[in-house]
Amino acid sequence: MATKKYFTIGFLFMLITGGALAQEPIRITYTIEQKVNFDSINQIEVENIFMLVNEVISSFEFELLINDRGESVFRKTEPMIEDYSEIELYRLALGFSAGDEVWFIKKGNPEKLIYKNDMDNGPFLLTLDEDVKWEISKEKKLIGNYNAIKATTTRQMGSFVEKIEAWFTPALPYSSGPIGYNGLPGVILELKRDKVFYKFKELEKKSVTITPPKESNLKSFDEYYQMLESRMAEIKSRDY
């Protein structure tokens, strides 16, 4: 099975490199939504909070910028409406959607840079040395005008393992996608992480300038999530 899987990936890369579409700078925008099973929530107050957070999240848009050197950045664009009377709801929406993160990837470099605007602990620059291992399925669907193929993977975040479902298209020869997920033979048009969905909106061919962040308050991705888990354990021990 493994031989067949890697043959499939290699074959798709051959199709891409032999295709007519040349590598050029692009901007892809994504809408986002969070799907919560409200039937599983027993408290009305918690359900109402989730509903309000979902409304904020639905106002967000994200963008994936890729330059002609294969460098990419994924981030939230400015929302159309900035009038959030409840700042805590906005902060929750940022956390659920990764709207407080900016992902930088340089082609050929497995180390990813993540600017994390942690409002409680200050901004961090995180490093993640990652070689994403994908399982490509036979499932296909149409996203916009593109034929997309389903792939799955996981990412370790402290003690939590994040499960990812992605839909990529070999028609666009960019090995990039939302929140740092790359390594597929085509750009990711749709990505599902837990209850959050990033969905393709449009593609523009335009000049792209990418400037990696300066090193400040540097931590590894693992160290950051270990720090969060330690602080959560401390809070629970105080019965907060």
DSSP per-residue codes, 190-237: EEEETTEEEEEEEEEE------PPPP-SEEEHHHHHHHHHHHHHHHHH
d(CA 34, CA 47): 13
Count the Cβ atoms, other than its own, within 10 Å of residue 184.
Answer: 25
Label residue 122 left, alpha or beta by phi (over 0 means left) and psi (-120 to 50 means alpha).
Answer: left
Domains in the chain: boundaries: 2-237
Helix, strand or coil for residue 35? coil
| 138-152 pLDDT, tens digit each | 999 999 999 999 999
Rounded to an integer, the average pLDDT of 81-106 is 81
Summarize the confidence of residues 111-127 as an average pLDDT: 89
**CB distance 23 to 70 below 8 Å:** yes
pTM of the full structure: 0.83
